[in-house]
A and B are shown apart, each in its own frame.
Chain A
Amino acid sequence: MAPAEPLTNTILYLDGVSVSFDGFRAINNLSLTLDKGEMRAIIGPNGAGKTTMMDLITGKTRPDKGDIYFDGAHDLTRYDEAEIANLGIGRKFQKPTVFECHTVEDNIALSLKGPRGAFRTIFDRRSASEPSRIDEILAIIRLTDRRDELAANLSHGQKQWLEIGMLLAQEPKLLLIDEPVAGMTDAETEETARLLRDIATRHSVIVVEHDMHFVRELGVKVTCLHEGSVLAEGSIDHVSQDPRVIEVYLGR
């Protein structure tokens, strides 16, 4: 049963979620809500449960207890990864994961929203709207001139963008983005911040990131996780001045 009243403007709702692996509490009574159209940055030390939280939302891991609701009606603990993806949640992995043996264009084409039956793809023809949609996404992620290149030949940063483009092709309501600027140059980091701010005008987004400079650049509400629950939440200035956050994460 979905909690009725507070969810009208909430895209994601986690309440009292806990999960343990072999006695280790990765997530401990975590509660978090995300408004529709909001972009949120998640920070926290290694082992704080950031990636586990994403696993819980995308169905890779099941919680021991607690509720996870998406878009008001959907109890995410009852669906598997593919179903959750088709409900409208896109996930970018920490390590850029694209189809290296396919062209940039094919990477996007395979991600485009559409029927996901495996059998029908044997006889599938490209629909008329596909090329324009692909053009649009390639323009957003600035890879138009590399559309026929194999994804393996892209630079690290371009692979990150391609993966974000693949998420956009899914037309998700919520994007979960794990460490988008790890290993990027300063120029690429700035470009990625611009890209995410642009995406956030049309989607709800959760970004997990260590790079405080980048988080500041995003200019959104920040949640700091520690030992599987929320330690502090608020603006970047508020969170980065919190003595407990300084203690466990930022360092003195």
Chain B
Amino acid sequence: MMTKRFFEGGLDRRIQLLLVVLVAAAVVVPVLNLAVPPTSSFHIPTHAVALMGKYLCYAMLALSLDLVWGYCGILSLGHGAFFALGGYAMGMYLMRQIGPRGVYGHPVLPDFMVFLNWKELPWYWYGFDQFWFAALMVMVAPGLLAFAFGWLAFRSRVTGVYLSIITQAMTYALLLAFFRNDMGFGGNNGLTDFKDILGFSLQAPATRAALFSATALVLALAVIVTARLVSSKYGKLMVAVRDAESRTRFLGWRPENIKLIAFTISAVMAGIAGALYVPQVGIINPSEFAPANSIEIVIWTAVGGRGTIMGPVIGAIAVNWAKSWFTAALPEVWLFALGALFVAVTLFLPKGLVGVWEQWSAARKARTKRASPTVPPEKTTATEPAASAARPAPVAAPLMGVEPKPAE
């Protein structure tokens, strides 16, 4: 009953459009990949399907960051850690699926454990031969870490740049830990050589297409959950905490709890994105914990437009598409281009690509309004028509010029 109430309403036209595109992609892309012959110009090759699936995982990761950064003002520079933890949980399931087909042919132990002369499976690998258990851990592991980290950090009122620094330290600490062979997660090499998922070969085009569809549908679900969350009373409180934390506190709310809920939900979402990512790229290793990865997520979100639902999805896909193109055509230029992009967005597009589009459509609306004779009189006398039309939907985005205040 509560769930039904949660999903009622709250989805505006633009989000509905995004959902339609995602569901259509989930259906059309596999058809064009599997049913259309490779000779046709409508055929989508399997490697492109995997690439698009990867982009959608990144989009979901950016959306999860946007929930805490764009709406709640928590600039996490360690969101890659939650993504990687979800990825490792899925990777452990895929390792157990290999069974006796590994290079050393051990019935239970993954190859790297045999190589390290381990005799028994560590206790924390138990249960990962079951998909349901792995799927649960994909959410529980990042969720628990985020809950514990957030509980300590938010209760101690660590905010702003200090919080960003300790999230960065968190992902770096995990990077170092997962590099160690005796952690039992494959050390430097990570987990790879996966064979199949739920009994279907990961090399088969049909499995890859199915993984893409699953990713598109899960992203659609994440969009719905995020949209409903930010339009609820809780979502308004998140924005309240972002803009005036002490005001919220002196009204009797507990900003630390509001942040903790957002941070935990966001980490779970990032973990699911990581779990969908690993079977599509075929490997998970400690480099996913690298601080630079987490910073890239921030750039995708900023480019698309933080504090919006569309922004991070568009930003993640656009930047990663550009990255694929650049690293093939001009590999040495990519990092400069990425840096320049971030500087340009920060200076000229504080609301990202979505902000540009909003401004453009507002200006167009204002033009048509001015041209039409049925202008409501109070609109023109009190304020500039352009200014009133440019007013963004409530909650949708931080206003131009109204930047979230630094925490007191």
A-to-B contact residues, CB < 8 Å: 58, 81-82, 85-86, 90-91, 93, 97-103, 106, 109-111, 116-119, 121-125, 150, 152-153, 166, 170
Contact = CB atoms under 8 A, between A and B. Distances in A.
Nearest to A153: B391
Interface string B231-260: 011101101100110111111111001101
B254 A124 contact: no
B243 A99 contact: yes
A85 B5 contact: no
A119 B259 CA distance: 11
A124 B232 contact: yes
Interface in B135-171: none
A93 B229 CA distance: 29
A101 B399 contact: yes
8 contacts: A81-B249, A82-B254, A85-B250, A93-B247, A99-B244, A110-B248, A122-B229, A152-B399
Nearest to B258: A118
Interface of B: 2, 5-6, 229, 232-234, 236-237, 239-240, 243-244, 246-254, 257-258, 260-261, 391, 394-395, 398-399, 402
Contacts of A97: 244, 246-247
Contact of B253 (A103, A118, A125): A118
B247 A82 contact: no
Contacts of A116: 252-254
Given A100-B402, A150-B399, A152-B399, A82 B244 contact: no
Contact of A110 (B240, B246, B391): B240
A106 B5 CA distance: 20
B232 A85 contact: no
B6 A122 contact: yes
Contacts of B257: 117-119
B232 A82 contact: no
B3 to A, nearest CB: 9
A122 B262 CA distance: 11
A83 B143 CA distance: 28
Nearest to A114: B252
Q: DSSP majority for the A interface?
A: mixed
Contacts of A125: 5
Q: DSSP majority for the B interface?
A: helix
A102 B251 contact: no
A61 to B, nearest CB: 13
A81 B255 CA distance: 11
A92 B322 CA distance: 49
B250 A121 contact: no
Interface core residue of B258, B261, B394 (most chain A CB under 10 Å): B394
Interface core residue of A91, A118, A153 (most chain B CB under 10 Å): A118
A170 B398 CA distance: 26
Nearest to A97: B247
Contact of B251 (A106, A122, A150, A166): A166
Nearest to B391: A150
A102 B5 contact: no
A102 B240 contact: yes
Contacts of B250: 58, 81, 85, 90-91, 93
Given A121-B234, A123-B5, A111 B244 contact: no
Interface core residue of B250, B261, B391, B395 (most chain A CB under 10 Å): B250
A98 B244 contact: yes
A170 B240 CA distance: 16
Contacts of A153: 391
B164 to A, nearest CB: 21
A133 to B, nearest CB: 15
Given A118-B257, A122-B229, A152-B402, A103 B394 contact: yes
Nearest to B8: A125
A106 B236 CA distance: 8
Contact of B2 (A82, A93, A123): A123
A64 to B, nearest CB: 21
Given A99-B239, A101-B402, A110-B248, 13 more contacts: A82-B252, A97-B244, A98-B244, A99-B244, A102-B394, A106-B394, A110-B233, A110-B236, A110-B237, A118-B234, A122-B229, A124-B233, A170-B252
